Amino acid sequence: MYYLHDGPGVIALTIDDGPSPVYTPQILHLLHRYRVTASFSMIGINVDAYPSVARDVVEAGHMIVNHTWQHLDLAFLSSVAVRDQMDYATDAIHRATGRIPQMFRAPYGAWSPTVLEWCERTRMTPLDWSVDPRDWSRPGTGAIIRNILRNTRSGSIILEHDGGGNRSQTVAALRVVLPRLLAAGFRFTTPRPPGARGQARARASGGGGH
């Protein structure tokens, strides 16, 4: 899934590589302030390290996506290793939150037949993105803001990060981007498996609420 198909103005914000005890709470605060629902693609080892932060994400009404156990490039792993990376992350998320993730995001967007087959077997919808401000590279808060505002349109899935390093630029950019996108008439929702699109449309109201 590279785009949403939930009607005009509906977009999704996805936050990758956490949870982080430093940046995830800051992002949760902003999402609460603007009543925006987001999806957090979590790495299993980080979920194991900070289970209470993962629970905070779920309790705030956001969705957790499987982002593998260690954030390795799955294209270079054996089939067994790929399955282990995906399954271990699901187990960690379930231990911490009681939830089984319904969506999977491949690190680096590295999809392969093995990954897609295991997604189908484990009933996880493959989730990609359509707007990448490369915030992980810390290009500057202004660059992140400009990229998102220039490239976001109906159906966009925006990629941001709360883990993997210093994400202060990401937090600062979201502080500007969220109110501007809402003022422009966009509504936030969480991506959903194809059979759940009706539910996603119902949730995409106002500022995205949860």
Q: Give me the active site residues, please.
A: 16, 161
Contact predicate 39/190, CB 8 Å: yes
Q: Which helix (H) or strand (E) holds 25?
A: helix 23-34
Please list, residue by residue across 144-166, b when 16 or more beta carbons sit within 10 angstroms of its beta carbon and e when fewer do: bbebbbeebebbbbbbbbbbeee
- Report d(CA 160, CA 31) in Å as an integer: 13
Residue type, 8: P
